[in-house]
Each structure stands twice: as structure tokens, then as C-alpha cells.
Chains A and B, each alone.
Chain A
Amino acid sequence: MAYFECIHLGKTYKTPQGDAVIVEDFNLKIEQGEFVCIIGHSGCGKSTVLSMVAGLNEISQGTVVLGEREINGAGPDRGVVFQAPCLLPWMTAYENVMLGVDQVYYHATKEERRQVATYYLAMVGLAGSMHKHPGELSGGMRQRVGLARAFALSPKMLLLDEPFGMLDKLTKFDLQQVLLDLWNRERLTAMMVTHDVDEAIYLADRIVMMTNGPAAGIGDILSIKFERPRDRAEIMDTSQFYDYRDYLIDFLENRAASAALEVA
């Protein structure tokens, strides 16, 4: 059995117009230490899948298995980073990270916990600003805190939902680098939703392409064979990169709408 697995995962909302099937029969296996990106058109159900895995959205059909156990509700064994950093504005960056660290390392001493939080904040480049409140931080810095908070949990799995979607291009590049550096050290199993094709190729081992909703599922999966650690400039110099890119864009433009039928 795979480290992580979605088995016949589905989501149905009850609406006044009857049942709305958003996601149906979503099957995906992820090996330990693998980085998987999910791409798909806006509104197809990517966030829905991710939030079900996170335990923040109820699962309608099927199951999710993580580390040989079926997930049941949310928990700190999954580190979640959303598009908005969701920091608590009344706490400093450090306190925001500490909130999770206290929860996971409740058996450790205060000093050990402090070290964990400080280490991850330093790793994301916030050593100098960790005692600032989110209101005093830029959007990019806030998302760094979000990454530190997720990694500091030492989770079984990392779940990211378009974490850099609201950032400008330069900041986004920096944060992709921060994420990749952290990930290279810890090799956490990761599932990341994005609609940025370049980002997906740069970060992922495999890219899952979702078909358009309603009743969205997996249309195709592409393995990215670049070696790690990766260098953005180097990768973008290869023709392979553009082949991947063309393949993904072709899926989104031509196949996403009909792939569901194709699979069926």
C-alpha cells in the first residue's frame, strides 16, 4: 500500500437544485517523500480535494489513507499552507509558529520548542523579523511564516493550496526557492495545488492534471524527470522543460474538458 492514497474520493454538495457532484472517483497514490502538484482549471475542485485531505472539508465518498491510517478529521500530522497565509494577526510570527510547535512537541521542553520554532523561522529567512506581527510583514514574508509553521510541525504530509498565488512574480520565485530548499532537507511528502504550469514543473516529481468539473477527476499524470536539487535556470534551458510545458498546456487547453469522457 502506498504511503498516501486517495481511494474513490468524491465530494457532493447538497444544493437547492439537487446534488452537485464536484469531485468524483479521485484515485491517487503518492509515495513517501514524493512531491506531487495538482493542476486544473479554476473551479474544477482542486481546493476541494486538498481540503478533504486536510480534514477541513467533509469527505462525501471514498477514503484517504495516510501512513497506513485512514484520516479522520484535521490534525497537525498534516501541515497546511493556504493561498492566504491565515496567520493570527494578534500573534507575532514566532508565536504563530509556536502555536503549532507547542501542539506537536508537547512532550519537549520549552527551550527545545523555542529552538524548533526559531530554526524554521530562520530557515525561511525571518530570523530578523520573527517578533513582528503579521500586520508589519509583507505578503511574501507572511507566506514565509506560513511555510515555517507548516514545516515546524514535522508533518507526515505537506498540503499546499496555491500558496504563492497572490504574490508578485519575483516574490513568488523567492518563495518557491525557500520551499524547495526546505523540502530538499526534509523530503516531506507533499501535495500542492497550483495553476502555474512552470511552478509545477519546477517543484514536482509528478503532476496530476484534473479534468474540468462537474464530477472532476484525474485526467492524466505526468512524471517530471529532472534531477534534484534543481536549478531553475538550468531546467529552463532544457528542451525537456518545454516539452513538459507543452504537454501540460495542451491538456489544459484541449483535453481537460473531454478527458473525463476519455477516461470513462
Chain B
Amino acid sequence: MSTTTADTHPPATPNAITPAKKWSYNPNKVAHTLEKLGLGYFSPFARLAGRDEPAKQIRTIAQNTFLPLLAFAIFLFGWQLCSGTVATDSQKIPSPGETWDAWNGMLAFSAAEKAKEAAYYQSLEERVARFSAMASEARAAGNTGRAETIERRIAKEEAKVYQGTTTFFDQIGISILTISVGFLIATLIAVPLGILCGLSPLVNTALNPLIQLFKPVSPLAWFPIVFVFTTWGIDQPPASSIWQRALFTSAGVVTLCSLWPTLVNTAVGVASIDKDHLNVAKALKLGWLKRIWKIILPASLPLIFTGLRVSIGVGWMVLVAADMMAQNQGLGKFVWDMYQNGDTASTAQIIIAVFFIGGIGFLLDRIMLVFQRLVTFEEQTI
């Protein structure tokens, strides 16, 4: 046998020993990884660290830094101009400076609120400790009845929760929780349904009109309908629970608005799988579960994630409106409450909320982008 390529090892030595390679910094690889993670801004830094065309990298960094900064400066200038002119009887557009003050106020308020909460629990603990001491004293004295009374009191105390004001940051947390629930439900509905549509032209024909009909519906229209469902199906939990009915109403609206892009993309992804890949499944006579799990799902993952990325964007956009309607303690409620206040300071807080809504939306998109890139396999060319 006369083989010539280097990658032909005799089968006797299955694990060819590769010489230990010393770790070395590969700027190109690091830069690519950064780009893959959606952190393309930092890739010229990585290249610069590896002395890869330093002049070019510095130029790129300067461009990528100063151009956005310049645009932002122009934006701030425009904002400042507005704040001097756009005014009603009761309020005006707050200036960037006033907004910054409002932001500091929000930080201080939240810190004070947290301190109050800590103090509340501290005094609660102290009380419980005192009662416990009294209870054991009573027990030692042989007065069981009194000890039990005190113990019941302790249990009551321990069940108490702090009823403070929800801060802006709590509301951000609730919003993220709400979209997580809504998005999860949307995914659990859209992906299996999309696979069905992609696999079966009959199912697709059956569902397509419904999909086209419901896809463009506004969250404001869905809200009353979802509201009936959640009121019917979910018991109002105690006020201390974070799983409020309003959260599910809001999440339901998110689900109904955001499941369509995933559904459509999944269906397209499944329907357009490479025929060669399906032939592999056919030639091996894979069972339907294995066919879906090993072939269909991985092959359509890139498109599914494209859909999921659009979905989460839509979901986040819709969430603020849904929160307002459902009075769910999220960012939408925050904006609504501030709007009700109707003064300049409150408008400044709304502007802060706008920045946060945008920032979180951007972050969610980036997270999905990373997932999308991770599941996109390298296509084989031959």
C-alpha cells in the first residue's frame, strides 16, 4: 500500500502524539472571536496588542471611537436646544444637565430605599432574637403555654415582608423577568409549530392564513384578550410574590407579538434544509425523533436563531406598552407613573428610562447575536 498524504496514519496508532505546543498570542484569532461575540469594536485593540499593522489599527480605533462620540455630542447639543424651547404650561423638555440630576436623584432614592429595607429587616431580626430568648426562658421555667404563644408570634414576624416602594432598578428586574417569561413561551410555541409547518406543506397551508392575520396585530389590541385569559386562569397571588397576574398578562402580550418571526423563520429554515442532509437521514432510515433532533433542528438552527433575535427585539419593544396596559411593575409602569406626575423632573426620569430601555434592548440583541453566530456552522464548500 502506497499512500502519500500526511494525514494517512496506519491504523495501528490511532492516537498520534502531537508535540506539545507552547501557547502563543494569536491576534487574528482573538480578533475573530471578539467579532463573533459581537464585540467587533475591541478587535482592533486585540490586533494592536499583537503588533498587527499598528498604524491601521490605531486609525480604526480612532474612527470607531470619535465618530460615534461626535454624533453623540451633536445629539446632546440638539437636546440642549430643545430643552430651551419646547415647553408647555406645566413642564418642559429637561436639559441633559437636569436629566443627569434626575439620574443622581434616582440613584439616591434607590439607595435610601435599600437602606430602609435593610433597617427594617435588621429590626425584625432583633425582635425575633428577643422573642426567641423569651420563649426559651419561658420553656426553662416550665411555662409551655406562654412559650408557644411567643413562638406563634415569632412565626408571624418572620413571615413579614418589607412593603417598600419599587425602585427603578426593581422595575428593570421585573421587566427582564417579564420578557423572559413571554419570550420563553413564545419560543416553546413557535419552534415546534415552525418545525411542523416546515416539514408538512399541509400544516403550512392550514396555518399560513392565521399566521399572516395575527402577525401584524398591535400589542394594545392583544392586551384585553390576554387579560381575560389571565384573569380566568391565574389566581392573584399575595402582593409580596413577584409572580403577579399582571406580569403574566404582560408576558402573554409579549408572547403573542413576538412568536411570529421565530415561527416563520423556523418554518423557512426547516423547509429549506439541504436535500443532501435529508438524504443522509433517509439513507440511514433514522426514526422521526432522531431525524428532527440530529438533522432538522441543527440544520435550521441558524435561521431559528435569526428568528429568535427578531422576536426578542419585537418582544422588548412591545413590553413597555404591555406593562403600561397591564400595570405590571416594569419599565412601562415606571414610564406611565412618571407621565402621570407630569412635571419636568418626572420627564427627566422618563428620558433616563428611555436610555435604559434602549440599552437593555441592545444588550438582548447582542446576546442573541452571539448565540446566532455560535450555532452557525461553517458550510462545507465541496
Contact = CB atoms under 8 A, between A and B. Distances in A.
Interface of A: 54-56, 73-76, 78, 80, 82, 84-91, 99-100, 103, 118-119, 122-123, 125-129, 133-136, 139-142, 153, 166, 170-171, 173-174, 177-178, 181, 232
Contact of B285 (A74, A86, A125, A141): A74
B279 interface: yes
A100 B284 CA distance: 6
Of A54, A78, A129, A134, chain B has the most CB atoms within 10 Å of the CB of A134
A122 B2 contact: no
B29 interface: no
B188 interface: no
Interface stretch (B9-17, B115-123, B240-248, B316-324): B9-17
A118 B14 CA distance: 8
B282 interface: yes
A127 B16 contact: yes
Contacts of B282: 55-56, 74
A127 B380 contact: no
A144 to B, nearest CB: 8
A258 B298 CA distance: 49
Which of B11, B282, B301, B379 has the largest number of chain A CB atoms within 10 A?
B11
Interface in B1-39: 1-5, 7-9, 11, 13-16, 18
A54 B284 CA distance: 11
B380 A142 contact: yes
A56 B294 contact: no
B277 A88 contact: yes
Contact of A84 (B13, B16, B276): B276
Interface in B261-312: 276-277, 279-280, 282-286, 294-295, 298-299, 301
Given A76-B284, A174-B3, A127 B14 contact: yes
B378 interface: yes
Contacts of A87: 380
A127 B284 contact: no
A103 B284 contact: yes
A250 B13 CA distance: 46
Contact of B298 (A76, A90, A135): A90
A100 B379 CA distance: 21
A86 B378 contact: no
B255 to A, nearest CB: 29
Contact of A103 (B2, B9, B285): B285
